[in-house]
Structure 1
Amino acid sequence: MRDNPVKQKLQRGETAFGTMVFELVSPGLPAILSAAGAEFALYDMEHSGISMEEMKRQFAYGRGLGLVPIVRPPGKQYQFVSRLLDLGAMGLMLPMVESRAEAEEIVSWTRYAPRGVRGAMFGGAHDDYAPGDVAEKMRIAEDRTIVLAMIETEKGVANVDEIMSVDGIHGAHLGQFDLSLSLGIPGQVDHPRIDAAVQSLLAACKAHGKFAACMAPTVEIARDWMRQGFNMVSYSYDIGLLANGLSDGIGQLRGKAGS
């Protein structure tokens, strides 16, 4: 079974870079992202309509590239977590985590008995259809899986320290846009209340030795957050990268044509 170089890198205190994927899934996407320098792809199933079947194909397309696939499931249910892990996800980002009890339940879905409730399926996609010792496969599967709790509500911010104290939660992922809605300041992601929430998240991650993850829409924002302590950074997302790149190029061409 493959290991997870992104998790290993983050555990050494280094920074890992990737991007988020909402829309543009294709057979070549994992190779394109890997060639561009991404170490992980964070697929969003919650807001995109990407299916389980497409995720299984994306995991398969990425084999051999070293690109680590992480997924935000359609919701916070065992059926989504267990199925995505069996299909080959090497990390999960659970939305709107708000309490220690919720975090503990999520962790239990990612671990086999007696430490959790994940159902047993071996010789399939997640263990590369290979034979081998089941106990060793269980160990590798649990060791390599990244479990991120999204902190994107006012209650989640209030309880972020206890959430990060849960064994098996490896990091907090900032959800600045949903958080702005929860705080009653929709879209104001540079508001002082968002900055205060960021500081609470970073303090909790530091106190418990966990990753601090974010999706930064610009290089400038990414650099600022990295200086503050974020070390798992998704640079933008597929729709934004395509739209911004195309808009910038066409804008420059139109300006040249009109000169």
Structure 2
Amino acid sequence: MAQIAIYRNNLLDNLREDRVCTAFGIKIIPTGEIVQIAKQAGYGSLFIDLEHTTLTLKDASQLCITGLCAGITPFVRVPHECGSGFIQRVLDGGAMGIIVPHILGVGMAVKSVENDHGANYMIEDARKVIQTSKFPPLGKRSLTAGLPHFGYAPTPATATAPQLNESGSTVFIMIETADALETVDDIAALPGCDVLLVGANDLATELGIMGDFDHPKFMQALEKVSNASKTHNKVFAIGGLYHRPDLMDRVVNDLGARWVIGGQDVGMLVNATRQNCLALKAIQRS
């Protein structure tokens, strides 16, 4: 029996040709029409946001499945501290990659306030994400059958796990905290960490320069993430700067970003409807 191939990952395909993969953000529209609109517009991937939305796990899965069938690669951002079980369900539901926000580092010891003895316990940030998202030998993800990544076709585990590790479980570690920025080189060195994604707004806020993307500290931070990506052969990605084409030019062409998040459905709808209404009102002669 011929091996069933996994759906294509447009980010990885673009990387092989050193091309940028664009992402359309989905925040409020839970149905497949928005996926087809994004595909028709020319985007290569989806940024399905479960962190700052009321979209459900079921919504995300349906959007992912539609994206797979339409040829626009679905990636999903999960809520902060959502748990390993939730991450696995998102991946099993059709996501080709997981985006995890507010990472603090590779793994850091935190003093437990509930422990009378004052003992320390480990919170494994980036490493824990990788263990949850990847199959052995990279991680400890649990294997299941009947996955949308293969069109629900029966696929032996010996074929499923390697293909998912290679292209069906891309791990995006968000660099948007001061702690993550400080340890970005260590994070990038982790096997199974595929993408370093800068969250521009939160990172600027953490640096004490909220909204000031022209501040030297912000560009220095981007350069640090870019250098870590290049050193460890990881993808440098950016979100939150689509409204600044001047900075995006530098980030893409000078710093080497290859995955860029564009606008989200809600923002585009608001802007387009406002412009349309103003155009209609302008028709009336005074």
Q: Structure 1 length normalisation: TM-score?
A: 0.92
Write the deviation string for residues 88-108 of structure 1: whole angstroms up to 9, x where unpaired: 100111112221232222111
Q: Which moved more, 1:143-152 or 1:96-105?
A: 96-105
Matches within 5 A, 1:126-145: 126-144=149-167, 145=169
Contact 1:3 1:140 (8 Å CA) reproduced: no
Q: Note the C-alpha offset of 1:114.
A: 4.7
Larger radius of gyration: 2
Instruction: Please state if 1:37 is matched with 2:63.
Output: no
Query: Does residue 15 of structure 1 match 2:42?
Result: no
Q: What is the aligned counterpart of 1:225 among 246, 251, 255?
A: 251
CA separation in 1, counterparts of 2:221 and 2:161? 36
Q: Distance in 2 between matches of 1:224 and 1:113?
A: 38
Question: 1:91–1:147: 8 Å Cα contact kept in structure 2?
Answer: yes
C-alpha displacement of 1:66? 0.7
Moved more, 249-258 or 178-187: 249-258
- Of residues 120, 130, 148, the one that matches 1:125 is 148
Residue type matched to 2:128 in 1?
A: E
Deviation at 1:112, TM superposition (A): 2.0
Partner of 1:171: 195
Cα separation, 2, equivalents of 1:184 and 1:219: 20
Q: 1:211 offset after TM fit, Å?
A: 1.0
SS in 1 for 2:154: coil
Q: 1:236 aligns with which of 240, 257, 263?
A: 263
Query: After TM superposition, what 4+ stretches of structure 1 lie above 4 angstroms from structure 2?
Result: none
Confirm whether residue 80 of structure 1 aligns to residue 104 of structure 2.
no
Report if the CA contact (8 A) 1:85-1:126 is conserved. Answer: no
Unaligned runs of 5+ in 1: none
Deviation at 1:11, TM superposition (A): 4.4
Structure 1 residue 185, shift from structure 2 partner? 2.6
Match of 1:51 in 2: 56
Paired residue secondary structure (1:212): strand
- The runs of 5 or more residues in structure 2 that have no matched partner are 1-5, 108-124
In the alignment, the residues of structure 1 paired with residue 232 and residue 135 of structure 2 have an alpha-carbon distance, to the nearest angstrom, of 24
Given that 1:4 and 1:90 are in contact with CA atoms closer than 8 Å, whether structure 2 keeps it comes out as: yes
RMSD after superposition:
1.9
**Shift of residue 136 of structure 1?**
0.6
- Letter of the 2:151 counterpart: D
2:274 is aligned with 1:247: yes
